[in-house]
Amino acid sequence: FMFDTVATGGTFDILHKGHYTLLLKAFEVGKQVIIGISSDYYASVKKKKITNEYPIRLKNLKRFIEDKFNKSNYSIYELNDFYGPTVLTNDVQAIVTTEGTKENCIKINELRKSKGLPQLEIIIVPLVEDQDGKVISSTRIRRGEIDINGNKLTI
């Protein structure tokens, strides 16, 4: 482990290969992992279409972590903004994210600096793409274009 505590987050609506990659990195580098899940309210503010309400996304994520990683060294927080617990505590040392949300991590570090908290190491995980080089996303899965592993679905 490189860090005692790392944070990561997302909407985690339809769990797919991209979520797996993000969480894999978080569990690789952190002894303890804090995972933020967007609340239904925050997901709607972000203009995210969601299939599953928060309690279902929470239950599915816990099952996903159990099945894929067999880990118990994590805690989950409901996010009503992108900062979550990362700006409240000195414990977090790094944040695991994708290129798409790197800007939020920079803002988190700015707020931490203003509060006299140390900067977080930002660990970028590449977005996972399908065979055509398109990013695997819950939106594309919801539309029926691909499955959770990025395989094309034929109609």
Question: Residue 91 has what DSSP assignment?
Answer: S
Point out the catalytic residue in the list 17, 25, 47, 48. 48
Q: Is 115 a catalytic residue?
A: no
Average pLDDT over residues 89-97: 92
The phi, psi pair for 125, rounded to 5°, reads -105, 130
Point out the catalytic residue in the list 17, 25, 46, 134. 46
Q: Is 134 a catalytic residue?
A: no
Closest to 76 measured CA to CA, from 94, 62, 96: 62
pLDDT in tens, 49-74: 899 999 999 999 999 999 999 999 99
Output b/e per residue, 143-154; b: 16+ Cβ within 10 A. eebbeeebeeee
pLDDT in tens, 99-150: 989 999 999 999 999 999 999 999 999 999 999 999 999 999 999 999 999 9
> What is the structure's pLDDT at 155?
65
How far apart (Å, rounded) are the C-alpha atoms in residues 25 and 40?
26
pLDDT in tens, 21-48: 999 999 999 999 999 999 999 999 878 7
How far apart (Å, rounded) are the C-alpha atoms in residues 140 and 64?
20
Say what the pTM is.
0.93
